[in-house]
């Protein structure tokens, strides 16, 4: 029956698409399940994007409110999470424009291979260094600081692909660009980021 609420138990057994259809019929329980399922990833993404816990929390709520309000516009079957990331990215960019503070990072001419490695792979290569564990906290803080001030077109793909683990296709859907654009921005973003990490002695 249209509009019938899902049972109190077993909501997690429904796919995103099934829950979306229920939510479109104004079933708030269905959308609450979607919120609980994805809020952690969206908050984590926004926190890395903004660098402020309270603002990230506010933007996460704004993201889901926007998603709920615009559910009828969702038509990308199987890519609900990418759609959420797109909304979250737009919310974050809107927030950053209130206090724009972007840094320009030169590309290290000697670091062409950097563009081929993900952030996790690059940092993973440093684990054999004797000071790796001692510098973990410092490295994390430095990364968050740089990522929060990187040009959005590079930050977007670095966070979505290298931190959140989205595929190029999913990231392209989230950002409404082509897979080729994602690939090019990711390579350039990695080279800028790793060049700066190398300059400060965090990677070799």
pLDDT per 10-residue tile (average), the chain, 204 residues: 41 83 88 93 91 91 95 82 94 80 55 64 56 64 77 90 91 93 92 79 64
User: What is the residue extent of each domain of the chain?
Assistant: 11-99, 112-199
Sign of the CA dihedral running 171, 176, 179, 182:
negative
pTM, to two decimals:
0.72
pLDDT of residue 4: 44
pLDDT of residue 41: 94
* CA 13 – CA 19 distance, rounded (Å): 10
Consecutive H or E run containing 54 = helix 53-69
Count Cβ atoms below 10 Å from residue 60 Cβ, excluding itself: 24
What topology does CATH give the domain 112-199? Arc Repressor Mutant, subunit A (1.10.10)
Sign of the CA dihedral running 4, 8, 14, 19:
positive
- Find out whether 67 and 87 touch, Cβ atoms under 8 Å: yes
Domain 11-99 has CATH 1.10.1740.10: yes
* CA 147 – CA 158 distance, rounded (Å): 9
């Amino acid at each position: 029956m249209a509009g019938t609420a899902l049972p109190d138990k077993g909501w997690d057994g429904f796919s995103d698409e099934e829950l979306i259809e229920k939510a479109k019929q104004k079933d708030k329980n269905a959308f609450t399940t979607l919120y609980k399922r994805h809020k952690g990833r969206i908050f984590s993404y926004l926190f890395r994007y903004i660098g402020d816990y309270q603002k990230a929390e506010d933007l996460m709520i704004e993201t889901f409110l926007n998603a709920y309000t615009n559910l009828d516009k969702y038509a990308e079957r199987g890519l609900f999470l990418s759609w959420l990331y797109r909304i979250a990215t737009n919310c974050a960019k809107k927030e950053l424009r209130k206090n724009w503070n972007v840094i320009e990072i030169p590309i290290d001419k000697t670091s062409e291979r950097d563009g081929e490695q993900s952030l996790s792979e690059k940092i993973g290569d440093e684990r054999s260094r004797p000071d790796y564990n001692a510098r973990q906290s410092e490295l994390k803080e430095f990364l968050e600081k740089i990522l929060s001030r990187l040009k959005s077109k590079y930050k977007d793909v670095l966070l979505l692909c290298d931190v959140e683990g989205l595929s190029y296709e999913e990231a392209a859907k989230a950002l409404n660009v082509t897979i080729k654009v994602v690939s090019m921005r990711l390579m350039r973003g990695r080279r800028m980021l790793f060049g700066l990490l190398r300059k400060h002695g965090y990677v070799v």
